Chain A
Amino acid sequence: MARLSADNVQRAKDLIALYPQPRSALIPILHVAQEQDGWLTPDAMAHVAELLDLAPAEVYGTASFYDMLFTHPVGRYLVSVCTNLACMINGGYELLEHAEERLGVAPGGTTEDGQFTLEDVECIAYCGSAPCAAVNWRFFGPLTPDTFDHLIDDLAAGRLDAEVPPHGTLSRVRRQAPAPAQQ
């Protein structure tokens, strides 16, 4: 249960400087908090509230609206199988069922070793490669039960560490350009 580290407090301040109004930095800072701990801990959300001069409830109120922000622990890898129309008619639900069997959890569940959380997501805009899935928002498809198993094996063995950072890391590129002048 961690507050933001000194480095991440600096990142938060850099993000606040990008916007005419500080609260606009809330969601970008929540992504930083999620990168730090893999999910949004109550302490981190309270710390973010302090940085933005908001009530913790306002931070939680925003966070709880969004599907990518987790207010409970999730695995190192968030496996998001798409079942929306283009995937469904190309075997998306069969892929999801296979994923449930392989990982031994239902959508929303996390494996006992804390490595994988499975979810059944809405369209992730990768429909040219249906049926598809994302792992920590890195995209894979078209997937068969076999290629899905290989993907999970590779993730578990660390063979995809370069391509798929732990859950919570979104953009590994951080803005270098100076903050805008605020008039």
Chain B
Amino acid sequence: MITDVQPIVTARLGQPESWTLKAYLDSGGYQGLRKALKMKPEDVMAEVTTANLLGRGGAGFEAGKKWSMLAKPRPAYLVINGDESEPCTFKDHMLLEGDPHEIVEGTIITAFAIGAHKAFIFVRGEFALGLERLTAAVDEAYEYGALGQDILGSGFDVDLVVHPGAGAYICGEETALLESLEGKRGYPREKPPWFPAVKGLYEMPTIVNNVETMSNIPWIVLNGGAAFAALGEGRSTGTRIFSLSGHVVRPGNYEIEMAKTTFRDLIYDPRLGGGVRGGNALKAFVPGGVSAPWFGPDQVDMALDQDAVGKAGSMLGSGSVVVMDDTTCMVRAAWRITRFFHRESCGQCTPCREGGGWLDKVMRRIELGGGREEDLDLLLDVCDNIAPGLRWPPAKTTICVLGPSIPSSITSAIKTFRDEFLIHIKDGRCPYA
């Protein structure tokens, strides 16, 4: 069901010059910060904990809980992850271009709550317009007095730097992002000891939060954590942006109340996805980024609820839903996702670097008609070497979760569409080509 809850993070999008300070102030901007600066930092943190705001980047960890884990040594840093690269996720791209001040305000409030005097927003390098709008917004925020020394007369000092990335999916992984922010190759760090809240940027305690997570903070402070927690159900509170793409009539970003709305609503409601293109049948869909195992038509009535989706063996992840209709070749879809991970592997760990390459080659061979029946077992065996047991959430043989994400699409496709693989192999060609 689609509820009539007003949008929290996308309210200004589409308004004239929504990215400017003037438009932001005219629509209540920086009031959350003014309120926060009159509170005690621990009370600000308590509101976010009450809200039960789940991180909007992919892992879905409670933001308030994460903040409370910040180790004591100082200085501590705040780093905002705007390196949105999970395929078919395009919400942060839109927020950076459309409402950069909301991100900046959320970042300043968070810095105040955790006691960081220096914050960085790491923006995916490809987002040229987003970088321009955010850089201009940060300048305006300094001019307005919300950044720098003694912000808004509160006695609190905080600086904010916009940092451009340079093109690498892996830098969305928080420890790789920190390496990159230190001017190095984006190699993920081993945890332990490199848990960012303990040992992060420049080996100091660091909180890393997603852009959309920040965009929620001003509203939570203004309206209270309880008001946020009253939306949604269970642990899935508030609203969330879902990036809907693929074979739908109306692809786009939709902010909807969590847990109340189902995948069916998102895909078929005329106000949202508007249905599968051409009235075609739904064959399968990706429920939360291409790292997530796929769902089929029989799971379309599941709620957009982090725990429900997790229990069903997948994840809401980055909030991207990709719809595939009955004209889609599942072998080709799974191959393309495999190729992506192979290309983006940083190369540190053998199972990911080599396994990804072999999976890419074998999947491609099947799609092009040169596959063998034993290739299915070979694929599953290589997948099992990367993520032992092929369970969900995956076990790891690697430093980060990029490698263990590779098997998701292959095992989903083989499990549900084994016949389609066999037809490719028997006929020596792709039946959809």
User: Residues on A close to B: CB < 8 A?
Assistant: 18-21, 23-28, 30-31, 52, 61-62, 65-69, 83-86, 88-90, 122-130, 134, 136-139, 170-178, 180-181, 183
Contact = CB atoms under 8 A, between A and B. Distances in A.
Given A24-B183, A85-B246, A175-B139, A31 B125 contact: yes
B337 interface: yes
B166 A31 contact: yes
Interface string B320-342: 10101000100011001100100
B118 A28 contact: no
Contacts of B186: 65-66
Interface string B218-257: 0000000000000000000000000111110001110000
Interface stretch (B30-38, B56-64, B87-95, B400-408): B87-95
Given A85-B286, A86-B245, A125-B127, A180 B90 contact: no
Nearest to B328: A89
A84 B148 contact: no
Contact of B162 (A20, A27, A125, A175): A175
A181 B149 CA distance: 9
Contact of A123 (B75, B88, B286): B88
A176 B163 CA distance: 14
Given A176-B139, A178-B142, A125 B161 contact: no
A158 B164 CA distance: 27
Contacts of B84: 125
Given A19-B161, A62-B184, A175 B168 contact: no
Contacts of A181: 149, 157, 159
Contacts of B22: none
Which one of A86, A130, A175, A181 has the greatest number of beta carbons of chain B within 10 Å?
A86
Interface stretch (B128-136, B386-394, B415-423): B128-136
Contact of B245 (A66, A69, A127, A136): A127
A173 B90 CA distance: 23
Interface residues of B, number: 71
Majority secondary structure of chain A interface residues (helix, strand, loop or mixed): loop
Contacts of A31: 125, 164, 166
Nearest to B166: A66
Given A65-B168, A130-B251, 5 more contacts: A20-B118, A85-B340, A125-B89, A137-B127, A183-B75
Nearest to A66: B166
B184 A84 contact: no
A151 to B, nearest CB: 16
A104 B251 CA distance: 32
Majority secondary structure of chain B interface residues (helix, strand, loop or mixed): mixed
B125 A18 contact: no
5 contacts: A84-B87, A89-B247, A123-B85, A177-B139, A180-B159
B181 interface: yes
B129 A138 contact: yes
A21 to B, nearest CB: 6
Q: Ordered nearest first, which 8 A-B pairs have the shortest CB separation? A: A180-B159, A26-B183, A68-B167, A67-B167, A66-B166, A23-B183, A127-B245, A177-B142
Nearest to B187: A65
Contact of A84 (B117, B118, B132, B340): B340
A122 B124 CA distance: 13
Nearest to A84: B87
A21 B290 CA distance: 35
A62 B251 CA distance: 36
A20 B76 CA distance: 12
Nearest to A177: B142
Contact of A68 (B125, B142, B182): B125
Nearest to B133: A173
